[in-house]
Structure 1
């Protein structure tokens, strides 16, 4: 739909590249074009870049510097092709994945993208400590992951304990290399990634190459395990799940399903309940429990006990008790953190700048009546769930 924020940018670029007949801008209304059905009800500007009849990249949200950079690069490339200085690379069609946690693929037939029988999978990838310390090489691996069509659905960086390492690698415990693996895995932070794309497990394994560094160097020197080996470290620095079943188990090990308490505050519940509930569902959360309830002063005080004694505390409690709230238990992998990301920053004015698609950016009134509440960590989530729902079995 129309996006006034970039109109001036498009005019400026059109003037700068006025001699290029191939540069065109168009506005498309997703509701009236069947091809753009995946973008309906998303309430966000999306910029599709097309070359030679194919979508080659997407920018979501109004990121003027990135949009300008993409356009400039594409125009320059087309000039070089027209001048015979460069041949047009074959544009590989990529599946566009909306939300990795829901694993839904969107296809655009009008641009030559064909449906396949392969389904979007998740797989686990680990960047082990010795490689993770080398920042430039770490970012090179992450870029390669993106270039090969993977989406990073979830990630976290943790230092594994000896107990965690033994549990995760228990099938390898009797192998000669296990002591070295144990020492390596507990020597510093490991970056843990949940990757999604079509045929993700097999594709990531193919990129990794043979299991050992020695085999990778001899048999497939272009594999990731060969290219990103670390001197004097015999253990390969990259891990991938062997099968879809292993991927499911390994992802559950590092990203177990969590429960978090989510609350739509009274003012937002009255005006925006349906819209907020829609965003919750689109984000892939399972609503395990839900009820509408007017919070008591004691319950609101418990939610915000960390703010007790601060000047705004009583006003905050009043906002929470002025009418019925919608209280939910949300379930999902990494639920606590993902709900906090969906809520956005506490201050809606900050949210509008840094997280314009967040709930607070779109539906909050002010910093106190800021539409939604969520648990700050897993322990707080369990306390809050028990406070509102009592002792219940939600697993």
Structure 2
């Protein structure tokens, strides 16, 4: 999600596929007239699902035949024609990738994980760390369970080297960098 205000040049670049049509100047003027919200939505058949939710591009058609569509609810008719329907959706995957990189240039677009891939990731990477932590949490029953769990996960991060815990006396001495006094020095 990104809130952005396009310049006329940026709007023209975004809608370059409409260049030469009679509504192109109005589209550019409208898209650069105020802030917009850019979203990246992912789902299996996501482009088609989003198009179905949006409804027809023509607001009057959307209101007449698809009254529950987003364009029927949020689109508006203008004196220039029925161009400002309030929403945009990519036509195809290639267009979606171009538009994603337009608004989110640093985003890495990868494939959507399949159900078995999600399960495999959970079993391989989350369960070995989270299950022992949640078990310890259940045995410990701390007053602040979320803080306890966060601290436990931080101390048992599998991507960090694990240091052997020191007894509390040694830790205090190590903090102040003074050796523990010997019995002889205390007697003198």
TM-score (norm 1): 0.26
- Cα deviation for residue 163 of structure 1 reads 0.9
Matches within 5 A, 1:18-37: none
Match of 2:44 in 1: 198
Question: Per the alignment, in what secondary structure is the counterpart of residue 88 of structure 2?
Answer: strand
Match of 2:165 in 1: none
1:89-141: per-residue Cα shift (whole Å, max 9, x none)? xxxxxxxxxxxxxxxxxxxxxxxxxxxxxxxxxxxxxxxxxxxxxxxxxxxxx
CA shift for structure 1 position 237: 0.2
* Alignment equivalent of 2:53, drawn from 207, 215, 219: 207
User: Matches of 1:252 and 1:227 in 2, distance apart?
Assistant: 29
1:243 maps onto 2:35 in alignment: no
- Could you give the per-residue CA deviations for residues 237-278 of structure 1, whole angstroms, max 9, x where no partner exists? 01111112221121111111369xxxxxxxxxxxxxxxxxxx
What is the RMSD of the two structures over their aligned residues, measured on CA atoms?
2.7
Who is 1:257 aligned against?
106
Q: Does 1:362 align with 2:157?
A: no
For structure 1, which runs of at least 5 residues remain unmatched after alignment?
A: 1-154, 260-281, 283-351, 364-395
How many residues in Structure 1 have an aligned counterpart in Structure 2? 113
* 1:178 equivalent in structure 2: 24
Specify every segment of 5 or more residues in structure 2 that has no aligned partner in the other structure, as ranges.
109-124, 126-145, 156-188
Q: Which runs of 4+ in 1 moved over 2 A?
A: 230-234
The structure in which a higher percent of residues are helix is: 2
Deviation string, structure 1 residues 40-91 (Cα, Å, up to 9, x no partner) = xxxxxxxxxxxxxxxxxxxxxxxxxxxxxxxxxxxxxxxxxxxxxxxxxxxx
Task: Kindly indicate whether the alpha-carbon contact (under 8 Å) linking 2:59 and 2:76 is maintained by their aligned counterparts in 1.
Answer: no
Once residues 205 and 188 of structure 1 are traced to their aligned partners in structure 2, the CA distance between those partners, rounded to angstroms, is 23
What aligned pairs does 1:1-395 form with structure 2 within 5 A after superposition? 155-230=1-76, 232=78, 234=82, 235-257=84-106, 362=154
Q: Contact 2:59–2:77 at 8 Å: present in 1 too?
A: no
1:306-351 Cα shifts (integer Å, max 9, x gaps): xxxxxxxxxxxxxxxxxxxxxxxxxxxxxxxxxxxxxxxxxxxxxx
| Other-structure match for 1:148 | none
TM-score (norm 2): 0.53
Q: State the structure with more CA Rg.
A: 2
Provide closer, same or farther for how the CA distance between residues 232 and 258 of structure 1 changes in structure 2, counting only shifts above 3 A: closer
Structure 1 residue 231 displacement after superposition:
6.0
Equivalents in 2 of 1:244, 1:211: separation in Å?
A: 19
